[in-house]
Amino acid sequence: MKWKDKCFNALDTEKMFENSGHRTRFKELLDCYSDYPFFTKGLCKCMYLSAWDDEHFCIMLETLMEMSLGKEKDTEEMRSKGDLFAEERKDDEYYVYELSNSFLDNRTFHLDESAKISSKIRHIIACALSAARIIDNV
């Protein structure tokens, strides 16, 4: 069994998908882009996070299509875009992009309890961090 299938199955077994749309979007990204040279566990974590809703899924899909057409070998350009997206945001989304950047950098993300973010975004971040631990152990 390929790593991408083991990863998907591990997340599915642990019931890490919020709904069927989240599950389907993540599976589509994984199936389409896991064989590219820029694919990493960090990118896989970003895929999980971006698959949460249609808006972020479309952003991720556009970015990955550009990377595949440009024959990118790593996620450096994606990481640069993540910085730009984070800088543009003055709301909860800032933390989502910071989390994504930490995944790409393979560094620990810590959300300060005093951060003024909605319970919805706090939930998404908590789920993404749990999924990241599962992905790391596949």
**For 92-135, how does the pLDDT look when each residue is reduced to its tens digit (9 = 90+)?**
888 999 999 999 999 999 887 888 899 999 999 999 999 999 99
- On whether the CB atoms of residues 132 and 108 are closer than 8 A, the answer is no
Chain-centre distance for alpha carbon 43:
6
Measure the CA–CA gap between 24 and 46, rounded to whole angstroms: 15
pLDDT the model gives residue 62: 92
Measure the CA–CA gap between 133 and 138, rounded to whole angstroms: 9
Residue 16, C-beta contacts closer than 8 angstroms, at least 6 positions apart:
48, 127, 130, 131, 134
pTM summary value: 0.93
